[in-house]
Amino acid sequence: MTEREQPKLDDEAAFAGLAQAGIRALRAYDPGHDLVALRRRFGAGQLVELGANENPYGPSPAARQAALEALDGAHRYPDPLGGGLKRVLAERLGVTPAQLLLGNGSHELLMQFAQVFAGPEAAVAMSQYGFAVYALAAQAAGAPLQFAPAWAPDALMPRGHAPDALASVVSARTRLLYLANPNNPTGTWIAADALAALLARLPDEVIVVVDEAYAEFADAPDYRSALALLPRHRNLIVTRTFSKAYALAGLRVGYAVADAGLVAVMERLRESFNVNGVALAAAAAALDDDTHLQQVVSANARQRPLLAEALRARGCFVHPSQTNFLLADFGGDAAAAAIEAGLLQRGVVVRPMAGYGLPQCLRITVGTADENRRLLQALDEASKRTCSATGQRG
């Protein structure tokens, strides 16, 4: 009896060989530092966590109460249609419940758009410094990626999405275009008229995802949500999340608004109980607590320019931001790495940007006044030895 040569299934590479083509070369999303270990090291409440664009003010008390009450029903499956939350959302947004898709965080939906619409023959377009999840979604679906160059570092909207470049990268084989507005990690935004003009230029067969994870924080006069463009563009999907301004990142709820027909196709792939009952209840209650949202948004609006100014005073180039974070350019890869390490040593977590091809930058969440003060103090200590920031753009 001759034995066929068997692959030895003894490591990740061996199993990757059995995976679908798109998964073979895939690298898992990098969530940043091991915060559990860091909290243990620095003590609870001592670590200054400014690496994940979370909301430092915590959830609405009403959302917390609703979550606690929902726990009494934890032995039941949640509403598979998320009807309660969809009704509140629909009323708020002026759309029908059939136009809403709920996700276990918007991350889940961003991945599923590619599973549904992209593939080896259906390419995905995105901007150079677009959110990392879009590339991951495309790769997982085995879809070719089409990268549009971003604005130059010294442009009016440094490293932001360039609508003309995005329109030019779209070809006959493009099926999906992802665009965050405002964008993570740059914090930059596309003005309302430029976004409307871009959508008007794109063919109907290109599904356009406008990811508005940070929309609640945006207050620039030229920024507007793409929700208003939905009636004109049936190929448009707008995604939102409860993870940022609503401070429910740990519960995982996001949603998409789109044409009811598009939503129905997406529903074919959705896991029936993808959003849990505690999260559904908390999200609906959070949506009703306008006072809390306004407090969070105005606190961020106060702190953001103060932190940006303080970083500029220390020689960084700070990208304009409509979000709850700042992308700071330290003028050199080694300088940024040394600062990041120095901050971490002092219990301050920020986000390194080498994964985005921006090793000279760090992304820093706008914290509370106290957190920002501790960040700046640690930065001053860390840069005593390492400061080589140029204070110049680029």
Ligand X SMILES: *Cc1c(COP(=O)(O)O)cnc(C)c1O
341 alpha-carbon distance from chain centroid: 24
> Which of 85, 169, 209, 213 touches ligand X (CB under 6 A)?
213
> Residue 328 or 379: which CB sits closer to ligand X?
328
Burial (CB count <10 Å: 0-12, 13-18, 19+), residue 256: buried
Binding residues for ligand X restricted to 237-256, rule: CB under 6 A? 241, 243-244, 249, 254
184 interacts with ligand X by CB under 6 A: yes
DSSP 78-98: P-TT-HHHHHHHHHHHTS-GG
Query: Least separation, in Å, of the C-beta of 241 and ligand X?
Result: 3
DSSP 321-367: -SSSEEEEE-SSHHHHHHHHHHHHHTTEE-EE-GGGT-TTEEEEE--
216 interacts with ligand X by CB under 6 A: no
Query: Least separation, in Å, of the C-beta of 224 and ligand X?
Result: 18
Does the CA dihedral 225-161-323-99 come out positive or negative?
A: positive
Binding residues for ligand X restricted to 84-143, rule: CB under 6 A? 105-107, 131
Query: Least separation, in Å, of the C-beta of 72 and ligand X?
Result: 26
Segment contacting ligand X (CB under 6 A): 19-27, 149-157, 226-234, 236-244? 236-244
> Which of 211, 216, 259, 340 touches ligand X (CB under 6 A)?
211
> Residue 106 or 112: which CB sits closer to ligand X?
106
365 near 343, Cβ under 8 Å? Answer: no
CA distance 306 to 188: 17
C-alpha closest to that of 100 among 278, 284, 282, 291:
284
The 4-43 contact track toward ligand X, x by CB under 6 A, reads ----------------------------------------
CA distance 253 to 121: 31
Residues that bind ligand X (CB under 6 A): 53, 105-107, 131, 180, 184, 211, 213, 241, 243-244, 249, 254
